[in-house]
Amino acid sequence: METAKKRNGTEPTLLLITLVVWLVADCGLLPYQITKNYKRVVTLKLSTNTAINYTMGYSQFILIMEKEYKTTKEQCQSNIDKRMPIVCTCCGGKIEPIETVDNSHNPTFWQGCNECMKFDNGTSPKIYETAVKMVDERHFRAYSFNEMPDKEKDPSGFDYWRKSQISGTVGVVSDALRLYGVL
């Protein structure tokens, strides 16, 4: 579409709508109906039988709407760039804009990790590396109530558990550094 170009945080969205109309006559809800007809009142007796007279029709049409983002991809990327370098708190992967909708169902972009498939504000690589060492080498458990799955019997469960522990430890390391004025 030549005229439907992305501009000012909006982009065109095609919406196919099917409109169905069903008109029912003689539904028999009221035994009598008073109808004004040319300045006089006429009392009509209606059937109380089940409705069988109806008219149905449908039509399809395409509606072109512009999708307006609350936060554009460029704005989200700019927020990420201001804090660079940052990495995912779970896997250490790249933080990038992810298209989603907010609680009001408005389209927007939030920062997150496509590897982990989660929204994440990220952390500095040094804090992430420290958290990994604390979990892997020092056996630090940010979530001590979660039991560690067997790495051989349940590799995906172990991977999820490890990433959760690292993410929680990132928070602990960040809090400790803030307490001492390092961050």
> What is the reported pLDDT for 10?
58
> What is the reported pLDDT for 30?
45
Give the DSSP per-residue string, the chain: --S---BTTEEEEEEEEEEEEEEEE---S-SEEEEEETTEEEEEEPP-SPP-EEEEEEEEEEEEEEEE-SS-HHHHHHHHHHT-S-B-TTT--B-EEEEEE-TTS-EEEEEEETTTTEE---B-HHHHHHHHHHHHTS---TTTTSPPPPTTT-HHHHHHHHHHHHHHHHHHHHHHHHHTT--
> What is the reported pLDDT for 43?
53
> What is the reported pLDDT for 32?
45
Q: Is 34 exposed, middle or buried (0-12, 13-18, 19+ CB in 10 A)?
A: exposed
From first to last of the 183 residues of the chain, give the pLDDT tens digit: 344 445 555 566 666 777 666 555 555 554 444 444 445 544 555 554 444 445 556 667 666 667 788 899 999 999 999 999 999 999 999 999 999 998 888 899 999 999 999 999 999 999 999 999 999 999 999 999 989 999 999 999 999 999 999 999 999 999 999 999 887
Please count the residues of the chain. Answer: 183
> What is the reported pLDDT for 51?
45
C-alpha span between 144 and 73 (Å, rounded): 38
> What is the reported pLDDT for 61?
67
Q: Which amino acid is at 86?
A: I
Domain coordinates in residue numbering, the chain:
10-66, 69-179
- Of the candidates 91, 89, 111, the residue with the CA atom closest to the CA atom of residue 100: 111
Q: Is-contact 27 51, C-beta < 8 A?
A: yes
- Of the candidates 76, 153, 69, the residue with the CA atom closest to the CA atom of residue 122: 76
> What is the reported pLDDT for 81?
95
Q: Is-contact 136 165, C-beta < 8 A?
A: no
